[in-house]
Amino acid sequence: MKSHLFKTFTALAACAIIGLPGLAQAQVIAYADVSGSGDEIDAGDVNDGDAGGDNGPSLGVRTKKVTVVPYIEAQQVDLAELSPGNEVLTYSTLAAGVDASVTGRNSQGAMSVRYERRFGYGNHRVPDSDVVSGVGRASFALVPRALTIEAGAMAARMSVEGNGAALNGRESNSTSQIYGAYIGPSLTTQLGDLMVSGHYRFGYNRVEAPGAVLIVPGQNPVDVFDEGTVHNAEVHAGLQPGTVFPIGIGVGAGWNREDVSNFDQRIDDKHVRGDVTLPLGPDLALVAGLGYEAVKVSHRDALRDLLSGLPVVGTDGRYVVDKTQPRQIAYESEGLIWDAGVLWRPSKRTALEAHVGRRYGSTSYYGSFAYAPNAHTSLNVSVYDNVTGFGGMLSSRLAGMPTQFDASRNPLNGDLGACVAASATVGSGESPCFGGALASVNSASFRGRGVMGSLNFNHSRLQYGIGAGYDRRKFIAAPGTILATANGVTDENVWMGAYLNGKLDRKSTFGTTMWASWYQSGDATTGDISAYGATAAYYRSLTSRITATAALGVEGVQRELIDDVWTAQALVGIRYSF
């Protein structure tokens, strides 16, 4: 299964490079100067512009820059347990990866993908394992300024707790591979004075079944998400203020459908709405909308043993779904929805959108803020509120990522950070952070609310960034089913991640990372969990293609009901970039 999923993820990533020629800067950690490595292709006289005409002036011929840097890497790692024991584990790794980028007028994006094989040895053997990690986001214009195809994919390795919490960076036998991907077209066009926009996205997400850490002996761990699909479609047509009427008017509709294999769960959300825009000045406007929405969450129960009445567990360790029984309603909301807010965009480098309204039977808040004061600095904040599942949230975060970014990795194990380093541009609803989506792999649907933000600085000699967020999930399940114990349970997670990278001299660079998360479970039997970690790495360019690495790190997990676990790691390695 692992090899199949790796091939699937690699194929998706390859499609993003080949079929969607738009992948921009990747890999925050600088492996010294690789200016002599990789294939940097100038497409020369590639006409990547608009033909002009009624849509605007001719943009002429524009050069497209493509950079692809494949690499192989060998590392030696020592892992020392600081508490509660004192074991020292040693393992070796062989890794292969690629960082690719393409920037053009109508196509751009970013991707960093890595496959790692770990070999354990010694008296206290680390199990041999395969690790896949990566993230990518691409956009390619089929029709310039009108029709685009967008895609995104990610893979991460996480440690899963008995309450469903997922922790980054830990070495344990409860680790799991997480995969997510989406693809779909996006349309923006103008029919006279009428602006029409819309999109369709199909997403697929999977979590391999881990042996979750059990806090209490005999505890039944939560049902971990298996796999699911997401269909998301939106369409909107409107008139801008000052075209036909002094105010702007519009009408839109949307559909979101998420299917989860666990208990055949389904979220079906449809809505229609009208909206108005009242300009108060050249850069400020009030907006309001009124509509109708129908949301339904349903699932089936587990198959029960005829003799004992206990739920049946399959050979894969997951509950078997009883498809002979009718689907049961876990949540249903139908009726009017409304919201009001403000739009403020004083320049191309500043954008604010804030809304308050009523949805899902209660008050709802959402919005975003983006600020890029110069070419080196970017600040992004977003607030969200929706009914979704694990897969739906992950697909949404991937679709909301910018197409130009650097991927931040842990130098000791190659794991992705909670955020990527976004370029200093202001996008519409973009957020460079997806760490909150991975906070829990509980299969149950939920109403998710939260806020996240990031600050990035990118200069030729110094790069730094910090991201943080708060996520609240109130789980939804039908009474009388095996999932009923999760209904109404509220989990909260606060997380942060930061990095600092820079050049020491012409051949030497350094990189530092740190992260922390505080997970409060609504299940009193599992207690709260806190995780911390920090790393420091030194990179030395031996030749234009060969880079040596030395790194140190420490990480810990604190649980209320069992002993804290703290470990330290040391690494030496060498990388060859093609």
- Look at residue 337 and tell me whether its pLDDT is greater than 80: yes
User: Nearest 5 degrees, angle CA 209-CA 211-CA 215?
Assistant: 130
- Look at residue 249 and tell me whether its pLDDT is greater than 90: yes
Based on the structure, what is the number of domains in the chain? 1
Share of the chain above pLDDT 90, in %: 53
Between 183 and 409, residue with greater pLDDT: 183
User: What number of other Cβ atoms are within 10 A of residue 10's Cβ?
Assistant: 17
**Residue 24 is part of a domain; what is its CATH number?**
2.40.170
> What would the pLDDT profile of 90-132 be if each residue is shown by its tens digit?
889 999 999 988 888 888 888 999 999 988 876 656 778 888 9
Tokens standing for residue 423:
């370029």
Domain residues for 200?
2-577
Q: How far apart are CA 132 and CA 181, in angstroms?
A: 14
- pTM of the predicted model, to two decimals? 0.84
pLDDT at 145: 85
Provide the 8-state DSSP code for 64. Answer: -
Work out the average pLDDT over 454-474: 90
Of 244, 247, 269, 418, nearest to 332 by C-alpha is: 269
Tokens standing for residue 154:
């990610």
Tell me the DSSP string of 489-556: -EEEEEEEEEEEEEESSSSEEEEEEEEEEEEE-S-TTT--EEEEEEEEEEEEESSSSEEEEEEEEEEE
pLDDT at 51: 36
Residue 71 burial (C-beta neighbours within 10 Å; 0-12, 13-18, 19+)? buried
Task: Report the chain's terminal Cα–Cα distance, integer Å.
Answer: 30
Between 363 and 561, residue with greater pLDDT: 363
Q: How far apart are CA 71 and CA 55, in angstroms?
A: 43
Tell me the DSSP string of 392-440: HHHHHHHHHS-SSEE--B-TTT--B-SB-EE-S---SS--SB-GGGGSB
Query: Which residue do the tokens 């992004």 mark?
Result: 380
Between 347 and 171, residue with greater pLDDT: 347
Work out the average pLDDT over 24-46: 35
